[in-house]
Amino acid sequence: MIVSLIITLRETLEMALIVGIIFRYLQKSNQLEYKKFVYWGIIAGLMMSIAGALLINSLSILFEGRIEQIFEGVIMLTGAFLLTTMILWMLNKKNIAKELEEKLQKHTNKTHKFGVFSVVFVSILREGIETVLFLGAARFSEESNSLLGAIIGIIVALILGYILYIGTSKFNLKVFFTFTSYLLIIVAAGLLSYGIHEFQEAGVIPIVIEHIYDINFIFDEKGPFGSFLKGLFGYNGNPSLIETIVYVVYMIVIFNIWRYLNMQKLQKTKSQNSKSQQIKPHPTTEQISS
């Protein structure tokens, strides 16, 4: 439930922010005639996302035995991959709002009504499909109903999105996205490890050593606290050798990439600041004398 709440809270808030940026741009540029194409884009994007959710749910019911394990493993690995790339992509972006406004400006200047629709549709569909895959992967790993957490996350995100849109809050989005990014990286590591576990059960990947340790007598993964850790962090009380190696290597690699991208952003900022200082006009002889 907690994983589903975090996923829908973050993804729905991203959708709400995107829609808010678009409406603010249309209002600022006095082009409110495009609002109906924004609404159509939102509806179409959500409908396609729901269709994707129904398709994944139908396939999960249709498959049985070994094929079901392989299918669940694929969904988990896909969810882990998309979570990782989404977080790193956002980290590498300096100003998403500006890029979105530039796309809209391009289409509204040329009166491309379909262009405005497509910008909104693609943005909503991307977030929607990501949410569907993440929730599907989380449901398979938790082996429980995560609907309540997902609904709570959506409601909270819509409320926050509206508050931010009307400008009555100083909510620190940078802190929010940084914190949830750290959590989702750990979730992605758990999904990756559990996806490997499913492939091992299906016989696709060799087990090598079935259990390198067993601490279920302390925190049983099927008990209340163990289930919570399993759902949130991918906890496994008795993992195989390959599961453990994949989890540890993923965490080391991803946080090193995170550190590298942060250093790159810091260097760029310093470079831009130094350039802006160099561009400042030097005082003339007359100004100095005066």
Please give the backbone phi and psi of residue 194, each rounded to the nearest 5 degrees, phi first.
Answer: -70, -30
Please determine, for residue 1, whether its predicted confidence score (pLDDT) is greater than 70. no
Residue 102's closest CA among 27, 21, 177, 30?
A: 21
| List of residues 6+ apart from 287 with CB closer than 8 A | none
Amino acid at site 76: M
Q: In terms of pLDDT, which residue wins out, 41 or 119?
A: 41
pLDDT single digits (tens) 124-181:
888 888 888 877 777 776 655 567 878 888 898 888 888 877 775 666 667 777 787 8
Predicted confidence at residue 232, as pLDDT, reads: 67
Mean pLDDT score, 63-73: 86
Residue with tokens 């995100």: 157
Please determine, for residue 19, whether its predicted confidence score (pLDDT) is greater than 60. yes
Predicted confidence at residue 120, as pLDDT, reads: 83
Predicted confidence at residue 205, as pLDDT, reads: 92
Predicted confidence at residue 289, as pLDDT, reads: 47
Residue 13's closest CA among 171, 142, 168?
A: 171
Predicted confidence at residue 288, as pLDDT, reads: 44
Distance of CA 136 to the CA centre of its chain: 14
Please give the backbone phi and psi of residue 255, each rounded to the nearest 5 degrees, phi first.
Answer: -75, -25
Please determine, for residue 247, whether its predicted confidence score (pLDDT) is greater than 80. yes
pLDDT single digits (tens) 101-116:
677 677 666 556 777 7
Confidence grade of residue 281 (pLDDT, cut at 50, 70, 90): low
DSSP codes of every residue in the chain: -HHHHHHHHHHHHHHHHHHHHHHHHHHHTT-GGGHHHHHHHHHHHHHHHHHHHHHHHHHHHH--HHHHHHHHHHHHHHHHHHHHHHHHHHHH-S-HHHHHHHHHHHHHHTT-HHHHHHHHHHHHHHHHHHHHHHHHHHHHHHTS--HHHHHHHHHHHHHHHHHHHHT-----HHHHHHHHHHHHHHHHHHHHHHHHHHHHHTTSS--SSS-S---TTTS-TTSHHHHHHHHHH---SS--HHHHHHHHHHHHHHHHHHHHHHHHHHHHHHHHHHHHHHHSPPPPHHHHH-
pLDDT single digits (tens) 144-158:
556 787 888 889 888
pTM of the full structure: 0.73
Between helices 113-142 and 2-28, what is the axis angle to 10°?
170
d(CA 250, CA 258) in angstroms, rounded, equals 12
Cβ proximity of 82 and 134 under 8 Å: yes
Mean pLDDT score, 272-276: 69
